[in-house]
Amino acid sequence: MISSAILHTTLKENFGFEKFRTNQEAIINTILNTQDCLAIMPTGGGKSICFQLPALLLPGITVVISPLIALMKDQVDSLKANGIAACYINSTQTDEEQQKHIDNLKNNTVKLIYIAPESLSYLDNIFSLLTISLIAIDEAHCISSWGHDFRPSYTNLGYLKNRFPSTPILALTATADKATRQDISNQLNLKNPAVFIASFDRKNLSLEVRPALDRVKQIIDFIDSKPTDSGIIYCLSRKTTEELAEKLQKAGIAAKAYHAGLDAELRSKTQDDFINDECQVVCATIAFGMGIDKSNVRWVIHYNLPKNIEGYYQEIGRAGRDGLASETILFESYGDLIQLQKFASQGQNAEIQLAKLERMKQYADAQSCRRKILLSYFGEIVTENCGNCDVCKNPPAFFDGTIHAQKALSAIIRLNESEPLHVIVDFLRGSKNAYIYEKEYQNLKTYGVGIETSWHDWNQYIIQLINLGYCEIAFHQQNKIRLTPLAKKVLFEGEKVQLSTVQKPTEQKSEKSNN
């Protein structure tokens, strides 16, 4: 057993830190006792030390498996700068370079080797010659198709435990719900792993969801109100990142687009400019941010609805790593939801992905403290409301929406349960557009019964009715809205419906600028 004093001295001398952060020392002790370990820590929590420090104390080599080829060089360079013998092997290197590293391994002159999972075969021939003291698997959620970032190259890693039964495995990830945790452990064949879960609570991040009305204008106003703060805007598609960056540039904002389709040089320039505060805003796909060590990101905006809560939490977690107050805003759009539902239903594990998306939507629609919902998703029980989310700051007001509900549900019946949301709203509002006339909907009963309510409000009320379970969207049938059996209660059995007053984007904005 290595004493705590030695661990602290190693931390200080090799990494320059005075204290361990939450769970670091316990994780290190587990590994030094050769027990398998699953470590779940938020981004920026300090996962790297958990294998870098033991690597120095263990007799043999520490193998670090990571999917992030682009970051390996930086990580190895910074280890070398601390005087730690490290190298990496991945597909970007020449055969000669790879051979050189393999020789160094054989000669026992390296303590740590970073390797991409698809390159592990390079080591196969020499594995028997090496003493491997620790296998660290970074971004371990990539092994699970239940997680949000499944990578096929991870699926084979289960063989490592069979091949090195007495070598401890440390699986690390920033995000894993309970099911994914179990799956990681099973697939890696971990033996009785010690599981460490650091609190995911990031109190300095404010949480806010806004309807995606006039998104671009809302974003420009937001950025203009804090001209020196830098932030990231996550978008669903590459095209959106480019279009949005251009619109922001036109509004005089130093914004750039970032996605995996841009060439490597441009990407790394954008990254550098962002880190050095030369570019204020990056409009990015989720490809941006993994491993970017910028502590003063003051805000993160989701232009589109994220696919699931894990991804969302990881992305907002890139704000405020310095611990100072930072803002996060998620724009909720019905259109995004439909598109994501389509993607999810066509992809792998459709059922699970759809269920995760459903949780994401419930979060966005929540009428109670958002942080409670997030933390409970990660298995943390919180009893207090956070006071730093939009629901806590501005609790929703409910009104008796029974008449609204009756009108909307009747309209859906009149339209034969065969029209999507926007047509129902047009119909309720007595719109005179070409489609309505073409279908002769103006002659039906209930046409125009909702003229006194604005288009935007109707849209939101019907979404609430969907969330309350009175009607549903038929995703495989052009998103027609149809009734559920519950609707009967409202239409015929006198059930009352509470709707919450719709927040106007403009009201939210004026409230913001007072902050």
Which residues contact ligand ADP (rule: CB under 6 A)?
A: 17, 19-21, 24, 41, 43-49, 293
Residue 321 Cβ, how far from ligand ADP at the closest point, in Å?
A: 7
Residue 271 interacting partner from ligand ADP, Zn ion, none (CB closer than 5 to 8 Å by kind) = none
Residues 309-348 interacting with Zn ion (rule: CB under 5 A): none
Applying CB under 5 A, what is the total number of residues that bind Zn ion? 6
Q: Which is nearer to ligand ADP, 81 or 434 (CB)?
A: 81
Q: Which is nearer to ligand ADP, 75 or 180 (CB)?
A: 75
Residue 46 Cβ, how far from ligand ADP at the closest point, in Å?
A: 3
Residue 392 interacting partner from ligand ADP, Zn ion, none (CB closer than 5 to 8 Å by kind) = Zn ion
Residue 43 Cβ, how far from ligand ADP at the closest point, in Å?
A: 4
Residue 43 interacting partner from Zn ion, ligand ADP, none (CB closer than 5 to 8 Å by kind) = ligand ADP
Residue 117 interacting partner from Zn ion, ligand ADP, none (CB closer than 5 to 8 Å by kind) = none
H, E, C per residue of 192-228: CCEEEECCCCCCCEEEEEEECCCHHHHHHHHHHCCCC
Closest CA to 87 of 118, 127, 293, 77: 77
Residue 155 Cβ, how far from ligand ADP at the closest point, in Å?
A: 23
Residue 370 Cβ, how far from Zn ion at the closest point, in Å?
A: 5
Q: What is the DSSP string of 350-400?
A: HHHHHHHHHHHHHHHH-SS-HHHHHHHHTT----S--SSBHHHHSPPPEEE
Phi and psi angles of residue 62, each rounded to the nearest 5 degrees, phi first: -105, 125
Residue 313 Cβ, how far from ligand ADP at the closest point, in Å?
A: 13
User: Angle 320-322-326 (CA atoms, 0-180°, nearest 5)?
Assistant: 25
Count of residues making up the chain: 515
Q: Which is nearer to ligand ADP, 134 or 405 (CB)?
A: 134
Q: How far apart are the first and last CA of the chain?
A: 52
Given phi > 0 = left and psi -120 to 50 = alpha, else beta, which region is 325?
A: beta
Q: Which is nearer to ligand ADP, 220 or 292 (CB)?
A: 292
In the structure encoding, which two tokens stand for residue 348, read together? 């792998």
Closest CA to 154 of 52, 71, 68: 68
Q: Which is nearer to ligand ADP, 181 or 215 (CB)?
A: 181
Helix, strand, coil shares, percent, the chain, to 5: 45, 15, 40
User: What does each C-alpha distance from 302 to 29, 153, 203, 332 come to in angstroms?
Assistant: 39, 29, 19, 9
What is the distance between the alpha carbons of residues 50 and 52, in angstroms, rounded to a whole number? 6
H, E, C per residue of 414-477: HCCCCCCHHHHHHHHCCCCCHHHHHCCHHHCCCCCCCCCCCHHHHHHHHHHHHHCCCEEEECCC
How large is the angle between the packed helices 350-365 and 455-467, nearest 10 degrees?
120
Residue 279 Cβ, how far from ligand ADP at the closest point, in Å?
A: 21
Closest CA to 348 of 181, 146, 155, 153: 146
What is the distance between the alpha carbons of residues 144 and 126, in angstroms, rounded to a whole number? 28
Q: Which is nearer to ligand ADP, 48 or 270 (CB)?
A: 48
Residue 386 interacting partner from ligand ADP, Zn ion, none (CB closer than 5 to 8 Å by kind) = Zn ion
**Residue in the structure block whose two tokens are 């059996």:** 485
Residue 47 interacting partner from Zn ion, ligand ADP, none (CB closer than 5 to 8 Å by kind) = ligand ADP
Q: Which is nearer to Zn ion, 133 or 388 (CB)?
A: 388
Residue 44 interacting partner from ligand ADP, Zn ion, none (CB closer than 5 to 8 Å by kind) = ligand ADP
Residue 176 interacting partner from Zn ion, ligand ADP, none (CB closer than 5 to 8 Å by kind) = none
Q: Which is nearer to ligand ADP, 211 or 289 (CB)?
A: 289
Q: Which is nearer to ligand ADP, 172 or 207 (CB)?
A: 172
The set of residues, in sequence order, having a beta carbon less than 8 Å from that of 15 and lying 6+ positions away, is 49, 52, 53, 82
Question: Is the Cβ–Cβ distance between 470 and 366 less than 8 Å?
Answer: no
Residue 377 Cβ, how far from Zn ion at the closest point, in Å?
A: 14
Residue 389 interacting partner from Zn ion, ligand ADP, none (CB closer than 5 to 8 Å by kind) = Zn ion
Binding mask 351-390 for Zn ion (x = CB under 5 A): ------------------x-x-------------xx--x-
Residue 293 interacting partner from Zn ion, ligand ADP, none (CB closer than 5 to 8 Å by kind) = ligand ADP
Q: Which residue in 39, 392, 428, 499 binds Zn ion (CB under 5 A)? A: 392
Closest CA to 234 of 330, 298, 326, 149: 330
Closest CA to 60 of 89, 82, 26, 31: 31
Q: Which is nearer to Zn ion, 64 or 389 (CB)?
A: 389
Q: Which is nearer to ligand ADP, 10 or 410 (CB)?
A: 10
Residue 45 interacting partner from ligand ADP, Zn ion, none (CB closer than 5 to 8 Å by kind) = ligand ADP
What is the distance between the alpha carbons of residues 42 and 157, in angstroms, rounded to a whole number? 23
Residue 163 Cβ, how far from ligand ADP at the closest point, in Å?
A: 26
Residue 12 Cβ, how far from ligand ADP at the closest point, in Å?
A: 10
Q: Which is nearer to Zn ion, 209 or 369 (CB)?
A: 369
Residue 337 Cβ, how far from Zn ion at the closest point, in Å?
A: 23
What is the distance between the alpha carbons of residues 266 and 466, in angstroms, rounded to a whole number? 44
Residue 204 interacting partner from Zn ion, ligand ADP, none (CB closer than 5 to 8 Å by kind) = none
Question: Is the Cβ–Cβ distance between 113 and 101 less than 8 Å?
Answer: yes
Binding site for Zn ion (CB under 5 A): 369, 371, 385-386, 389, 392
